[in-house]
Structure 1
Amino acid sequence: MNQDKAPLYEALEKHRSDRIVHFDVPGHKGGRGNKELTDFLGEKCLKADVNSMKPLDNLSHPESVIKEAQQLAANAFGAHNCFFIVNGTTAAVQAMVMSACMEGEKILMPRNVHISAINALVLSGAIPVYIDPGIDNRLGIALGMSITDIKKAIEENPDAKAILVNNPTYYGICSNLKEIVELAHSHRMLVLVDEAHGTHFYFGDNMPVSAMKAGADMASVSMHKTGGSLTQSSLLLCGENINCDYVRQIIGLTQTTSASYLLLTSLDLARKNLSLNGREIFSKTIKLAEYARKEINILGGYYAFSNELVNNDNVYDFDRTKLSINTRQIGLAGIEVYDILRDDYGIQVEFGDLCNILAVITAGDRAMEIERLISALYEIKRLYAKDPVDILNHNYIKPDLVCRPQKAFFSKKKIMPIKDSKGKISGEFVMAYPPGIPILAPGERITDEIIDYITFAKDKGSNLMGTQDMKVENILVVEG
């Protein structure tokens, strides 16, 4: 297929040039109805914010330019089919899980999944079988899944319908995806890949294997993270053994019927750009990340880790575009470094957890900005470093799953202080965002370790959420 084309973008440009008189929504009428918004975003942007119509197709039932744009994306990513998603990769992950599993059916997954995957369990009634990821105690992070652990889980749960894999994790850790696919398929299980942070695997040289190339059945891809599209735009890729008509119906359960043409067009143009220029784009990205990693490690105290972690087991490969930096040896939690970078140095990194920060590097960064980050980290170490004795050494707590997430979430519940909730079954989520991996999910037993972790995370300034109590001091627990 001709990847030079951008059919949705071209149709939208023609629509704007046709000077159509609009008696439809949106009500800002190309920006004329809201001057302040137009001044902020620009007249060209507001005129492209239109509703579905015949010349521009309809995302819920694509037959022309959206269909063609999705076919081009499928071709570019090596997929059998592709769906444009405008509800974020959250909607793509939920569509994967809900397409693969019905109520009461099992799905194998690591517990360090994004909250969207567990939300899908709440919506569908599927039963999770958690496979503990490996733990790197020096870095305080969960790793990938061991093939040995996956084999054991499959043997103990031969009736499972699918396995969900994070690839890569937020920190850049990759599992042995090709062997996972072969193993799962040999037991008639689908392989679903949360590839939110792996758009570049499809276009860069010497990258970890992509989900579609590994033979996975479905993959959710956050084009907006490293692919250059607008925030909230994503792709759901499907292999040849997936009933895509059914998947489209599942997507329709949660995706808006008022799809943003700004988001859709950004996906079309981002795909075109990656297809034509992806190798150059991600070659530059890796050079910037590798330079930053080398210079940060020279500072001492920090550890910007990379593919030296690869052990051909629970770290099968590493995404070198990720600039993940461990901060424990300077005696500061990652979230503390995150806050200082933003508040004192005007530098916004992706996130800070209790042990690490993550700086997302793309070809849109400049060498001078990399130097500014390195200099700021040097200054933070010089001014704030202390004894690391009080820093926790992990970001993963093995869950004790007592009942299905759906049952716990919709059960009769009562509220109580988190500090007094030991032994109770959680009826809601507690998580730090980003990265959006739940510390506690519905149906899991609350332990002293979980309470201590929540307390420590709050004290260090982590942005905790998920509970009805906006202060995250109280929690809803299952009655009885």
Structure 2
Amino acid sequence: MDDVRIIDGDLAQVIKLDEGQIPLLSTLKNYSQKEIACFDVPGHVRDQGVEVLNNYFGNEIMKMDINSSPFMDNVSKPNGIIKQAQDLLANAYKSDEAFFITNGTTQAIHAMILSVINPNDKVLLPRNIHKSVINALILCGGQPVFIQPEFDEELGISLNISTTKVKEALDKNNDIKAIFLLNPTYYGACSNLSEIIRLCREKSVLVLVDEAHGAHFPFHQDLPPSAMDLGADMAAVSIHKTGGALTQASSLLVNKGNIDCEKVSQSINMLQSTSASYLLMASIDGARYNLISNGQEQLSKALNLSRYAKSKLNKIEGIKVVTTEILDSDGVEYIDETKLCINVKGLNLTGFKVYDILYQEFGVQLELGDLYNILALVSIGTTKQDIDKLIKSLDIISRKYSEYRSASILETKQISPIVRLNPRQAFYSQKESIDFKKSINRICAESIMVYPPGIPIVSPGEVITIEILEYINLLRESKAYLTDMKDKSLDTILVIKEN
């Protein structure tokens, strides 16, 4: 579908968008093939300076790793091929504007929140948000107001937030500036975003969405609806996660009605390098073209492979795959079937253990493991051979560890935070390290989380409870990869210094 967009508000400058074009990728390729004597950065000077990189990356990649120039546009204030590529991306995602982001969706989330949240503004958000949101609140001084997402006891995972809880929170807090939502969660659960947006419009509350794991949503009818299509104000989208671009290639999408796009651009430029990677930006251009051209077919294949995997895996003793079953749960309106949440509780092995076994013994790399589950992403690049290898590996594990099934099951739970200081106040307060076991009722001064997915168990400004300590100890005993704390052994923990 063609579209017409105005460049820089000048009615005389219009371009007709052609979804079959790849303006940035094709121009970068042509530029790399020109015979040019380069006296600019980067210092490797195409493929002339660092042979080991040529050998590992290839000469063409090295030639395409360039810096901004008048001929190649500039991401800080694009008005040429980058602008054209961003407009095509906005068109594909049904948004008014799209900004290229080269430091991952973390940077997109930081820019999104910085552009609309002032110091002490309240932000309504689910507790199972990524650490980047807490860090964005440190940057801007916003005040989090948490909603607990619904929790699946059987799976041991947080789902998404219910419309009822959003309404209750909005009625209770009449000074909420914005709501921050996940569409989807790491495990593919989507709330009733359309109804939540309607509730927020009635209260003049901005709707910001972390759509890191939903880059593929607009390109197949069997997938959940995208945030932009439903009318959210802004969405941060990891084009690299499920859209096919290179790692760290992301986008910030904007619908203009309630948003100052100049402020958004200013926030991005505060956070993004002036030497943004052309390889990453061009990969967004190429991924967008592929999704427009081949997304329907590739995603149909991915969905069929996921459904095939589910049917086979559910026949393995001790294994249970859950996708559409959780649609009956509160807080779940849609589910992304390309995300296989494989519950291994019946094996009486933790997901962390199964994750390690699959990689170390079978050469199968999963997205994550938790106490009860492993998560496999079925994407546009997944093959039936990959799926069959996963099925066979889990079948062998099930038989090999069958004697463990009578042992006790670990208990996982949802933790409700007690916020005493906003994240920025906690970040700039004086701190001290104390014995981990003696930290109950102290205010935490650091984040502790399992990565992936990077959801904080405790964040700066929150009270450390016995429940939190017990859960962290359970994760330590389960060999979870805990991160972000100062003391990697967790013998001590960083807390706010008391007067």
TM-score normalized with structure 2 length: 0.94
Corresponding residue of 2:73: 57
Aligned-residue Cα RMSD (Å) equals 1.2
Partner residue of 2:354 out of 334, 337, 342: 337
**Is 1:171 paired with 2:194?**
no
Q: 1:139 offset after TM fit, Å?
A: 0.4
Q: 1:389 offset after TM fit, Å?
A: 5.4
1:175, 1:379 → 2: CA distance? 36
1:10, 1:307 → 2: CA distance? 41
Aligned residue runs from structure 1 range 14-93, under 5 A: 14-93=30-109
Aligned residue runs from structure 1 range 162-201, under 5 A: 162-201=178-217
Partner residue of 1:430 out of 443, 448, 472: 448
Q: 1:55 offset after TM fit, Å?
A: 1.1
Q: 1:472 offset after TM fit, Å?
A: 3.3
Corresponding residue of 1:418: 436
Gaps of 5+ in 2: 1-16
Corresponding residue of 1:324: 341
Cα deviations by residue, 1:67-110 (Å, 9 ceiling, x for unpaired): 11000000011000000000100011111111221110000000
Secondary structure of 2:460 counterpart: coil
Cα deviations by residue, 1:424-480 (Å, 9 ceiling, x for unpaired): 110000011100101110011111221121112122221111112233332110011
Partner residue of 2:235 out of 197, 204, 219: 219
Corresponding residue of 1:141: 157
Partner residue of 2:377 out of 360, 368, 376: 360
Q: Would you say how many aligned residue pairs link Structure 1 and Structure 2? A: 480
Q: 1:312 offset after TM fit, Å?
A: 6.6
Contact map agreement 1:191 1:216 (CA 8 A) in 2: yes
**Is 1:450 paired with 2:450?**
no
Corresponding residue of 1:465: 483
2:41, 2:290 → 1: CA distance? 30
Return the letter of the residue paired with 2:227: A
Larger CA deviation: 42-51 vs 306-315: 306-315
**Is 1:115 paired with 2:131?**
yes
Secondary structure of 1:100 counterpart: coil
Q: 1:395 offset after TM fit, Å?
A: 5.5
Aligned residue runs from structure 1 range 256-275, under 5 A: 256-275=273-292
Aligned residue runs from structure 1 range 248-397, under 5 A: 248-311=265-328, 313-385=330-402, 386-387=404-405, 390-394=408-412, 396-397=414-415
Secondary structure of 2:30 counterpart: helix
**Is 1:159 paired with 2:150?**
no
Contact map agreement 1:332 1:388 (CA 8 A) in 2: no
1:363, 1:268 → 2: CA distance? 16
Larger CA deviation: 158-167 vs 396-405: 396-405
1:16, 1:388 → 2: CA distance? 62
Larger CA deviation: 404-413 vs 467-476: 467-476
Return the letter of the residue paired with 1:11: T
Corresponding residue of 1:206: 222
Corresponding residue of 2:5: none
Larger CA deviation: 43-52 vs 12-21: 12-21
Corresponding residue of 1:234: 250
Partner residue of 1:125 out of 138, 141, 151: 141
Corresponding residue of 2:14: none
Label 1:151 to 1:16 Cα distance change in 2 as closer, same or farther (>3 A).
same
Identity percentage of aligned residues: 45
1:117, 1:157 → 2: CA distance? 20
Contact map agreement 2:449 2:458 (CA 8 A) in 1: yes
1:458, 1:260 → 2: CA distance? 38
TM-score normalized with structure 1 length: 0.98
1:202, 1:422 → 2: CA distance? 46
Q: 1:254 offset after TM fit, Å?
A: 1.4
Q: 1:243 offset after TM fit, Å?
A: 1.3
Cα deviations by residue, 1:144-164 (Å, 9 ceiling, x for unpaired): 111111011001111111001
1:337, 1:346 → 2: CA distance? 12
Contact map agreement 1:401 1:443 (CA 8 A) in 2: yes
Q: 1:12 offset after TM fit, Å?
A: 0.8
Return the letter of the residue paired with 1:447: T
Corresponding residue of 1:243: 260
Contact map agreement 2:75 2:82 (CA 8 A) in 1: yes
Cα deviations by residue, 1:262-300 (Å, 9 ceiling, x for unpaired): 101000000011011111111011011111111111113
Label 1:389 to 1:113 Cα distance change in 2 as closer, same or farther (>3 A).
farther
Larger CA deviation: 5-14 vs 160-169: 5-14
Contact map agreement 1:93 1:117 (CA 8 A) in 2: yes
Return the letter of the residue paired with 1:351: L
Contact map agreement 2:153 2:413 (CA 8 A) in 1: no
Cα deviations by residue, 1:360-395 (Å, 9 ceiling, x for unpaired): 111312112211111111111111242475443436
Return the letter of the residue paired with 1:365: T
Corresponding residue of 2:8: none
2:390, 2:467 → 1: CA distance? 34
